[in-house]
Structure 1
């Protein structure tokens, strides 16, 4: 399980964009978004670096918690 802090995530559109980016990287991934905490928990086979890079590519800076 990868837990990421995503400070710029603030709305449903952000949630959707992040879920789509993770799914494009790993279609089997399970993503749980906590908007108030601005965190995402991602259960994926992809490396943390790959997930962080995929989120950066869509404009979201992310860091492991």
Structure 2
């Protein structure tokens, strides 16, 4: 028996509507030394994809918040808030570990 997903990522959620979907992983905190890094990510199609990327990014030391705006089938945008310096290569490794492609990172 095989399970097919409408979203196309293979997670089995069956979602076919993800327009405007945003998931915030942690509540925002006011920290004086916060920095926002914007990531452009390809390959995400549903809420499960957001959860996977969010989980990996939250494991990066210094990351205090992750917000992702899904563009199913396009390039999604993640805003990563950090409370200490984080190298873009570490963020790229986290996105890759989740199974997606980091297109760009900018502060």
Distance in 1 of aligned mates of 2:45 and 2:61? 23
Root-mean-square deviation (CA), in Å? 1.8
Structure 1 unaligned residues grouped into runs of 5+: none
Q: Is structure 2 residue 14 aligned with structure 1 residue 14?
A: no
Which of 1 and 2 has higher RCO (CA within 8 Å, sep 6+)?
1
Quote the offset at 1:49 in angstroms.
Answer: 1.3
Contact 2:38 2:80 in 1 (8 A): yes
Greater fraction of residues in strand: 2
Q: So what's the TM-score if we normalise by structure 2? A: 0.53
Which 4+ residue blocks in structure 1 deviate beyond 4 angstroms? none
Give the length in aligned residue pairs.
65
Greater fraction of residues in helix: 1
